[in-house]
């Protein structure tokens, strides 16, 4: 679609994923932005979490001017010509181009080949989630390392309760990846642009997941992070999850007595909270946007501290600013999420971002999810992963 096909005074169109954490702050920010910018609005629509994680970029941007995306797409974005670089947008915001303005590696994860391709508006990583009332019922502390996770799993099963795990496909694979990083086997790119992926440590991570799955609810094989949080606030048999992408909004008061608590990632080695695979989200501007000046002004507004620490925090969002992650009032409103997860986020790892990594992650998730649901064997999974790594290497270096 060419810019001339739509009048510049029409609303800009944005797409994010379908959850109140994602949509509510953006809609509110659009309304406030319009009040100060001659009625210039952004209409937001949603796609589901799976599409956010895997939908091809050319397809995702077909009907939008602004897209909320995750950082593994950055390499593809940089080489596609489908998005505008945003360095000039960050320069409009006080401290906007400084990595320390943003929590953890949020900004760094969207910087590729010397340019920034996404404006970080949401920060997250894998962390622990629990039901405080059920944990108190078991008289157990929040686990700080993996041995304590297993002890909690045993205590839960003795009382007819379960651990909850987000083992569904992509999320199960990223749980294995977090364990690999905690063990020191980081996913990195070779000098030629390929993937370093240690299959021996991957097998060890599977051993760890196999053990904890012995205390996990049978539904865990079908949970993604949202489904897990939803289950934990809607039923009374899921006590604790050691690692999933955290949604701070489930700690808000409107969840009543079932509002969730949060803890650090309880890893296998010291420091136990290190090595989670960072999540979060950024806003990108498509190259076919009919009014890039208005889009850039809106994105700059989203990055302002008052917007992040104000609008986002008051409307179920998960701000990306360091200031929000250190704000006691914001932390209290989300039941301690930010203070509990902050060190885990600060020590989080950025996933590879070369073109083609997203396909690897999707396919690996399909294989790992099948294994965690006991639909395939360990040997079949390892054989499939070895072949997938080889194919990814070949495609990335040609």
Alpha carbon distance 106, 118 (integer Å): 10
Could you tell me the two tokens for 159? 């009382």
Task: Assign residue 250 the CATH number of its domain.
Answer: 3.40.190.10
Number of domains within the chain: 2
Residues 236 and 366 grouped into a single domain: yes
In a domain, 383, yes or no: yes
Residues 109 and 206 grouped into a single domain: no
Short-list 256, 14, 6, 280, CA closest to 126: 280
**Full-prediction pTM beyond 0.85?**
yes
Range of the domain at 38: 9-123+279-342
In a domain, 175, yes or no: yes
State the pLDDT at residue 8. 53
Residues 378 and 260 grouped into a single domain: yes
Alpha carbon distance 68, 84 (integer Å): 14
Q: pLDDT (tens digit, 0 to 9) for every residue of the chain, 398 residues total?
A: 344 444 557 899 999 999 999 999 999 999 999 998 888 899 999 988 777 777 888 888 888 999 999 999 898 899 889 999 999 999 999 999 999 999 999 999 999 999 999 999 999 999 999 999 999 999 999 999 999 999 999 999 999 999 999 999 899 999 999 999 999 999 988 766 678 999 999 999 999 999 999 999 999 999 999 999 999 999 999 999 999 999 999 999 999 999 999 999 999 999 999 999 999 999 999 999 999 999 999 999 999 999 999 999 999 999 999 999 999 999 999 999 999 999 999 999 999 998 889 899 999 999 999 999 999 999 999 999 999 999 988 876 66
Residues 286 and 325 grouped into a single domain: yes
State the pLDDT at residue 39. 81
384-388: list long-range contacts, CB under 8 Å, 24+ apart. 385/199, 385/202, 386/199, 388/360, 388/363, 388/364
Residues 371 and 319 grouped into a single domain: no
Residues 25 and 136 grouped into a single domain: no
State the pLDDT at residue 59. 86
In a domain, 351, yes or no: no
State the pLDDT at residue 1. 38
State the pLDDT at residue 249. 99
């Amino acid at each position: 679609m060419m810019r001339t096909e739509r009048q510049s005074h029409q609303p800009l169109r944005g797409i994010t994923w379908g959850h109140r954490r994602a949509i509510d702050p953006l809609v509110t920010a659009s309304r406030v932005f319009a009040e100060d910018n001659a009625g210039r609005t952004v209409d937001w629509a949603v796609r589901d979490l799976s599409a956010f994680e895997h939908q091809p970029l050319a397809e995702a941007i077909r009907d939008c001017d602004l897209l909320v995306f995750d950082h593994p797409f950055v390499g593809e974005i940089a080489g596609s010509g489908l998005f505008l670089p945003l360095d000039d947008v960050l320069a409009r915001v006080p401290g906007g181009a400084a990595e320390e303005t943003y929590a953890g590696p949020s900004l760094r994860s969207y910087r590729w080949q010397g340019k920034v391709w996404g404006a970080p508006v949401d920060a997250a990583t894998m962390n622990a989630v629990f039901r405080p009332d059920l944990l108190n019922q078991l008289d157990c502390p929040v686990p700080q390392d993996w041995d304590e996770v297993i002890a909690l799993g045993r205590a839960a099963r003795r009382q007819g309760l379960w651990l909850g795990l987000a083992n569904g496909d992509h999320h199960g694979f990223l749980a294995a990846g977090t364990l690999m990083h905690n063990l020191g086997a980081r996913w990195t790119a070779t000098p030629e642009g390929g993937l370093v992926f240690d299959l021996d440590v991957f097998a060890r991570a599977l051993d760890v997941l196999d053990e904890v799955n012995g205390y996990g609810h049978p539904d865990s094989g079908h949970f993604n992070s949202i489904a897990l949080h939803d289950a934990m606030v809607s039923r009374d048999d899921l006590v604790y999850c050691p690692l999933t992408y955290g949604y701070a909004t489930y700690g808000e008061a409107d969840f009543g007595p079932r509002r969730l608590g949060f803890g650090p990632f309880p890893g296998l080695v010291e420091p136990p909270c290190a090595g989670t695979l960072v999540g979060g989200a950024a806003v990108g501007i498509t190259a076919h946007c009919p009014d890039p000046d208005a889009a850039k002004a809106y994105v700059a507004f989203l990055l302002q501290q008052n917007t992040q620490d104000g609008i986002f925090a008051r409307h179920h969002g998960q701000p990306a600013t360091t200031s929000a992650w250190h704000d006691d009032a914001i932390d209290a409103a989300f039941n301690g999420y930010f203070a509990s997860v902050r060190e885990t986020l600060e020590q989080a790892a950025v996933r590879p971002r070369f073109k083609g990594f997203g396909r690897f992650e999707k396919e690996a998730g399909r294989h790992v999810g099948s294994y965690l649901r006991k639909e395939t064997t360990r040997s079949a999974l390892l054989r499939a992963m070895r072949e997938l790594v080889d194919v990814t290497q070949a495609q990335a270096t040609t």
